[in-house]
Amino acid sequence: EQKQINDVISHIIRIQHQKLTVNQLADFSCMIPQAFCRWVRKHTGLSFITYLNKSRIEAACQILLVSDRSVKTIASEVGFESISHFNRTFKKYIGISPLEYRKKHAGKRTMMV
């Protein structure tokens, strides 16, 4: 079961920039959607959507630190179709806007490159 959750998480991370649905990932996992959602919550402690959004926001944080790409471009790269949804979700999990995050961590950018 641990291998299966690792495979699913790796798959999600690999394709998180795409539009993902519970049905797609349930099919990938050979489960029905309801069972997949329970299974994800059991193994991550989070709903599928929360896990996906957190994963995308973590990826966005990394890109913000190492690139000068626009927030809109980064939002699209990590899988958000709407910049306003990205900004709200980013602020929900990180506590500040993406631009504030970039400014706050500007000194760390040179260390990571």
> What are the pLDDT digits (tens) for 78-109?
999 999 999 999 999 999 999 999 999 987 65
> What is the distance between the alpha carbons of residues 63 and 109, in angstroms, rounded to a whole number?
10
Rounded to two decimals, the pTM is 0.84
For the chain, give the mean pLDDT: 91
**How many contiguous H segments (helices) and E segments (strands) does the chain have?**
8, 0
Which residue's structure tokens are 């959750």? 5
